[in-house]
A and B are shown apart, each in its own frame.
Chain A
Amino acid sequence: MATDAEYYYQFLNGDNSGLEELVKMFNNNLILFINRYVNNLSTAEDLAADTFAELIVKKSPYIEKYSFKTWLFRIARNNAIDYIRKNRRHMNVSLPDYDTAEEDALERSVVKSEQQTELHASLKKLKKDYSDVLYLIYFDQMSYEEAGLILKKNNKQIKNLVFRAKQSLKETMIKEGFNYEEL
Chain B
Amino acid sequence: MRSYKEQTEKILELVEKKKKAREKKNNILVTCSALAACAIIALFCTSLFSGKNQSASLPVDTKIFTPKTATTSDKSDNKTKPTKKRVNYEKPKTTTIPMTTESIKTTTTKNTPKIVFISTNSDKSLPSNDLSKTDSNVIIYNGKSYVNTCSLEESETSKANLLGEYLGTVSEESDDESTDDASSDDSSSDMNGKVYTINGYSESFRLGMVTRDTTTGNDYIHIFDDLDSLAYSVQSSGSELLNDILHIDKNLSFINYYSGTNLSEASTNQNDILTKIPETTIPQFIECLNTAFLINDGESAFENEDKKVALFFNMTDETTAQIYLTKDGYIFCDGLYFKTDSDIFYEVYNSLVEE
On chain A, the residues within 8 Å of B155 by CB distance are 149, 154
- Assess whether B15 is in contact with A53, with CB atoms less than 8 Å apart: yes
- In the complex, which residues 43-65 of chain A have their Cβ closer than 8 Å to any Cβ of chain B? 45, 48-50, 52-54, 56-57, 62
On chain B, the residues within 8 Å of A85 by CB distance are none
C-alpha gap A52/B158 in the complex (Å): 23
CB contact under 8 A between A62 and B158, given known A23-B7, A164-B274? no
C-alpha gap A163/B272 in the complex (Å): 10
C-alpha gap A52/B12 in the complex (Å): 9
| Minimum C-beta distance from B112 to chain A (A) | 31
On chain B, the residues within 8 Å of A20 by CB distance are 4-5, 8
- Assess whether B161 is in contact with A53, with CB atoms less than 8 Å apart: no
CB contact under 8 A between A27 and B7, given known A49-B14, A53-B14, A152-B157? yes
CB contact under 8 A between A149 and B10, given known A57-B15, A157-B314? no
Q: How large is the interface on A (under 10, 10 to 19, 20 to 34, 35 or more residues)?
A: 20 to 34
- Assess whether A157 is in contact with B253, with CB atoms less than 8 Å apart: yes
Find the B residue at minimum CB distance from A51.
B11
On chain A, the residues within 8 Å of B17 by CB distance are 53
On chain A, the residues within 8 Å of B12 by CB distance are 16, 19
Instruction: Answer whether residue A24 sits at the interface, using C-beta atoms and an 8 A cutoff.
Output: yes
C-alpha gap A19/B16 in the complex (Å): 14
Instruction: Answer whether residue A106 sits at the interface, using C-beta atoms and an 8 A cutoff.
Output: yes
- In the complex, which residues 87-111 of chain A have their Cβ closer than 8 Å to any Cβ of chain B? 102, 105-106
Find the A residue at minimum CB distance from B155.
A154
On chain A, the residues within 8 Å of B355 by CB distance are none
- Assess whether A154 is in contact with B153, with CB atoms less than 8 Å apart: yes
Instruction: Answer whether residue B18 sits at the interface, using C-beta atoms and an 8 A cutoff.
Output: yes
A23 in complex: contacting residue of B8, B15, B156, B157, CB < 8 Å: B8
B8 in complex: contacting residue of A19, A45, A156, A164, CB < 8 Å: A19
| Minimum C-beta distance from B300 to chain A (A) | 35
A142-181 near B? 1/0 per residue, CB < 8 Å = 0000000100111011001101100000000000000000
C-alpha gap A120/B13 in the complex (Å): 34
- In the complex, which residues 1-28 of chain B have their Cβ closer than 8 Å to any Cβ of chain A? 1-2, 4-5, 7-8, 10-12, 14-15, 17-19, 22
| Minimum C-beta distance from B271 to chain A (A) | 10
C-alpha gap A134/B105 in the complex (Å): 47
CB contact under 8 A between A57 and B7, given known A45-B1, A45-B2, A49-B14? no
What are 30 pairs between A and B in contact, CB < 8 Å?
A: A16-B8, A19-B8, A19-B11, A23-B4, A23-B7, A23-B8, A24-B4, A27-B4, A41-B1, A48-B7, A50-B14, A52-B14, A54-B18, A57-B18, A62-B156, A102-B1, A105-B1, A149-B155, A149-B156, A149-B157, A153-B253, A153-B316, A153-B318, A154-B152, A154-B318, A157-B314, A160-B256, A160-B314, A164-B272, A164-B274
Closest 8 CB pairs of A and B: A53-B14, A57-B18, A52-B11, A49-B10, A20-B8, A53-B15, A49-B11, A23-B8
